[in-house]
Amino acid sequence: MRILSRILRPQLEATAHCDLPCGVYDPAQARIEAESVKAIQEKFQGNEDPSFRARAIDIKEQRSDLVKHHLWVLWTDYFKPPHFEKYPELHGLFNKATKAAGASGTKASNDPKTGQELLDLIAQIDKIFWETKAAA
């Protein structure tokens, strides 16, 4: 058994700072969903039909959840301790952005201003993301 485990033991150990190639991470996914949220909020404001409004709210809430999902993936899978050390505001930005997409933000509001606030927070995260990619 010892001989077999020595033979099958990896000869080369590789390490990476993320669990998949970094090309799979991009704040654009969250931004696109947030743009949809804001567009739905604008359409909601311009339409008085109750059926349309009910569908708009349902879709807006689904898209808000997707924004949160994409932000959480970036927060937990892409960004690592060195990023948070270099950008101490990053945890706060993610917290604000996910809340802005949640029950106290775009999920609860049909005001396009909340959609724009969410997009502004994502833009700040996006700027830091691309700075970390350039340094990698």
- Rounded CA gap, 60 and 45, in Å? 13
pLDDT for position 135: 81
Predicted TM-score (pTM) of the model is 0.83
- Domains annotated for the chain, with CATH where assigned, are 24-135 (1.20.120.400)
* 104-110: long-range contacts, CB 8 A cutoff, minimum separation 24: 105/64, 106/34, 106/37, 106/38, 106/41, 106/60, 106/64, 106/67, 107/60, 107/61, 107/64, 107/65, 109/41, 110/41, 110/44, 110/45, 110/56, 110/57, 110/60
pLDDT tens track for 34-61: 999 999 999 999 999 999 999 999 999 9
Q: Which of 17-21, 62-66, 107-111 has the lowest mean pLDDT?
A: 17-21
Residue 12 has pLDDT above 70, yes or no: no
With helix as H, strand as E and coil as C, how does the chain read? CHHHHHHHCCCCCCCCCCCCCHHHCCCHHHHHHHHHHHHHHHHHHCCCCHHHHHHHHHHHHHHHHHHHHHHHHHHHHHCCHHHHHHCCCHHHHHHHHHHHCCCCCCCCCCCHHHHHHHHHHHHHHHHHHHHHHHHC
